[in-house]
Amino acid sequence: MKFKMMTICNVRKMIWKNTVFLRHFSVNTTPLVTQQQESASAIINDVLKHGKTFGFHQEFFKSLNKEKVIVEFSSPNIAKLFHVGHFRSTVIGNAISNVYLAAGHDVCKVNYLGDWGIQFALLAIGFEQYGNSELLKNDPLVHLNDVYVKVSEEANSDTELYNKAQALFEKMEKGDNNALKFWKLSRELSIEEFKRLYNHMGVTFDVITGESQFVQQAKGILKSLSSQNLLTTEENGAKKINLSESSWICGNQPHEVTPIVERKNATTLYLTRDVAAAVNRFEHHSFDRMIYVTDFSQNLHFRQVFGILEAMGYDWATNEAGKLIHIGFGRVQNMRSRKGQGVYLKDILDKAEVKVRQDRLEHDTRRSNIENEKHVIDNLALTGLICHDLKRTLRKDYKFSWDAILSSKGSHGIALQYTHCRLYSLEQNCGTSLTHDIDISMLYNSEMMNLIEQISKYGLATQKTYETLEPSVLLLYLYDLCHAISKAMIACQVKGVDKNLSEARLLCFHCARTVLGNGMRLLGTVPLDKM
Ligand code: ARG
């Protein structure tokens, strides 16, 4: 490289404040002025030097204190199918964890299964009547779900059945082995199936736990609350806590301000188990930040969890401490089946794969003999789904659209893969070898300069994504990058031009691919070389 490196900050200042830099290129004849060449050179050098960590090497990330961060996400319910809300939580939580990891924090990814509650007692009773061991073995979640739908319908009108479940649940809470037998089996089978899904999605966890692990601690929490005189007993025997003083609570409705923390039969609740799990995590990890990723409807629940922790006197749980964060995402509006049930991830993944395969058959015969086609199709389908999900501000609801998921053009996931593959193929087939020693003045061309400018903005995109915890910031940046790449690929031939020109352009496209790949991996997709 013919020019010495500049700091990225200087480069940015030049890019955004000094319009001299990029705006004034239009024709291919005048050589770049030194300052402009230095800027372009510094950006390319930075990408080459930092490679996979480019975008997190800048001052902003270097100056951060390294924190212990817990990200709790996915958290499906056992004995139930994994639905689109859990898919959203998995995709969003995974992307946020990746960004925190890349920023250098010590991240612990936690999956907190919904594996406790009276519904599991009802399910055990229902299984005696409607269950089939063969079906349970072959397709556990579907079968358990079917059984649960039947038995819960029955329990709605049959108080005797409901009371029986209540009694069984009380035994389960006391740890009675016999009462726990069916629950244990359902839990194991569910976890096995969830693991298959996570494996398919390329998502891993550091801890897989669940509500069931915090029953005893939740009872301890109730004792502390009571000894701190924070509880009042209702006429029906249930106990409530008054959170009207808490800065976490915004509304003034009784159900918001004074939640029930204990039923009259003294079994634990979702709310108190969550309080116990948070205390346990702080004791084990003394985290600087804990992030919960669920759909927005649980916002009040988490404000109550945080409010109870604050009322118990934990200074890490105050609003001001800023350590507890609930990320509430919007709903997928058109994801109900005709029977009114949710649509399940396995069906969505299968359908996406079938559609991608069909699309390839209809539109492209050349690629049908690609190696490892299953891997390619799975990843295209997943990329389409992930990017469709992350495209907008998290709080927004959205409509599921197969056209958007499958599109390989414009601002859609498969288009990212398509661009990545085109760049890879260019490097393989252009006949020029990649060298770092290029003549930067060769890049004098508005499309190339625009591409370099776009590459230089990646650091700002990662920083903004980190600060806002909005993966859409990064994704929209990647769409702009792809747009710049494709314009530059049309305008700037690499094959069949002068050697110096070819080498300079190739290096620039190589840097673009590095950045695109980095961004795609952060979002939880696997960049493909061929499709
Ligand atoms: N299992 C719950 C559900 O499916 C989500 C759990 C969220 N996390 C938590 N700590 N409460 O709705």
Q: Residue 156 class from Cβ within 10 Å (0-12 exposed, 13-18 middle, 19+ buried)?
A: exposed
CB 203, CB 90: distance < 8 Å = yes
The Cβ-side half-sphere exposure at 180, using a 13 Å CA radius, reads 12
Task: Output the pLDDT for position 14.
Answer: 41
Tokens (6 digits) for 278: 């948070």
Domains of the chain (ranges; CATH) run: 117-201 (no CATH), 345-522 (1.10.730.10)
Identify which of 502, 519, 514, 495 has the alpha carbon closest to the alpha carbon of residue 424. 514
Identify which of 282, 276, 288, 292 has the alpha carbon closest to the alpha carbon of residue 326. 292
CB 482, CB 513: distance < 8 Å = no
Bridge partners of residue 292, in order along the sequence:
72, 326
Probe target for ligand 1 pocket from 74, 75, 291, 324, with the most ligand atoms within 8 Å of CB: 75
Give, for 260, the enclosing helix (H) or strand (E): strand 260-262
Where in the sequence numbering do the catalytic residues fall?
80, 83, 86
User: Which residue puts its alpha carbon closest to atom 6 of ligand 1?
Assistant: 75
Among the residues of 158-244, which ranges form H helices? 159-173, 177-201, 215-227
- Which residue ranges have their beta carbon within 6 Å of ligand 1? 72, 75, 77, 112, 114, 274, 292, 294
User: Which residue puts its alpha carbon closest to atom 4 of ligand 1?
Assistant: 76
Q: What are the CA-CA distances from residue 515 to residues 52, 92, 315, 462 (Å)?
A: 8, 21, 41, 11
SS3 call for 207: strand
Q: Look up the pTM and report it.
A: 0.92
CB 480, CB 410: distance < 8 Å = no
CA of 310 to the centre of ligand 1 (A): 20
CB 285, CB 64: distance < 8 Å = no
Helices then strands, each counted (H, E), the chain: 22, 8
Mode of pairing for the β-strands spanning 207-210 and 239-241 = unpaired
What is the longest distance spanned by two Cα atoms in the chain? 88
Give the amino acid at 146. Answer: D
CA of 89 to the centre of ligand 1 (A): 10
Show the CA angle centred on residue 273, arms to residues 268 and 275, nearest 5°: 130
Sequence-distant (6+) residues with CB within 8 A of 22 are 15, 36, 449, 450, 452, 453
Give the amino acid at 498. Answer: D
CA distance linking residue 380 with residue 366, whole number of Å: 17
CA of 326 to the centre of ligand 1 (A): 11
CA of 411 to the centre of ligand 1 (A): 32
Task: Output the pLDDT for position 5.
Answer: 37
Q: What are the CA-CA distances from residue 304 to residues 125, 241, 350 (Å)?
A: 32, 10, 38
User: Which residue puts its alpha carbon closest to atom 10 of ligand 1?
Assistant: 274
Residues in the chain with pLDDT < 70?
1-33, 337-341, 364-369
Identify which of 463, 445, 508, 442 has the alpha carbon closest to the alpha carbon of residue 481. 508
Tokens (6 digits) for 249: 């609570």
User: Which residue puts its alpha carbon closest to atom 11 of ligand 1?
Assistant: 274
User: Which residue puts its alpha carbon closest to atom 5 of ligand 1?
Assistant: 75
Probe target for ligand 1 pocket from 298, 304, 308, with the most ligand atoms within 8 Å of CB: 298
Task: Output the pLDDT for position 12.
Answer: 38
Q: Residue 329 class from Cβ within 10 Å (0-12 exposed, 13-18 middle, 19+ buried)?
A: buried
Task: Output the pLDDT for position 18.
Answer: 36
Task: Output the pLDDT for position 366.
Answer: 56
| Phi, psi angle pair for 337, to nearest 5° | -80, 175
Q: Which atom of ligand 1 is nearest to the CA of 274?
A: 10
CA of 112 to the centre of ligand 1 (A): 7
Count other C-beta atoms under 10 Å from residue 32's C-beta: 20
Q: Which atom of ligand 1 is nearest to the CA of 86?
A: 4
CB 495, CB 503: distance < 8 Å = no
Hey, CA dihedral for 464, 391, 92, 386, is it positive or negative? negative
CA of 294 to the centre of ligand 1 (A): 7
Task: Output the pLDDT for position 13.
Answer: 41
CA of 429 to the centre of ligand 1 (A): 49
User: Which residue puts its alpha carbon closest to atom 1 of ligand 1?
Assistant: 114
Probe target for ligand 1 pocket from 80, 270, 273, 294, with the most ligand atoms within 8 Å of CB: 294
Tokens (6 digits) for 292: 């919960």
Among all chains, which residue has been given the structure tokens 């929209």? 476
CA of 124 to the centre of ligand 1 (A): 21
Listing DSSP states for 295-358 in one string gives EGGGHHHHHHHHHHHHHTT-GGGSTTT--EEEEEE--BTT-B-TTSPBPBHHHHHHHHHHHHHH
Instruction: Convert the pLDDT of each residue in 63-108 to its tens digit.
Output: 999 999 999 999 999 988 899 999 999 999 999 999 999 999 999 9
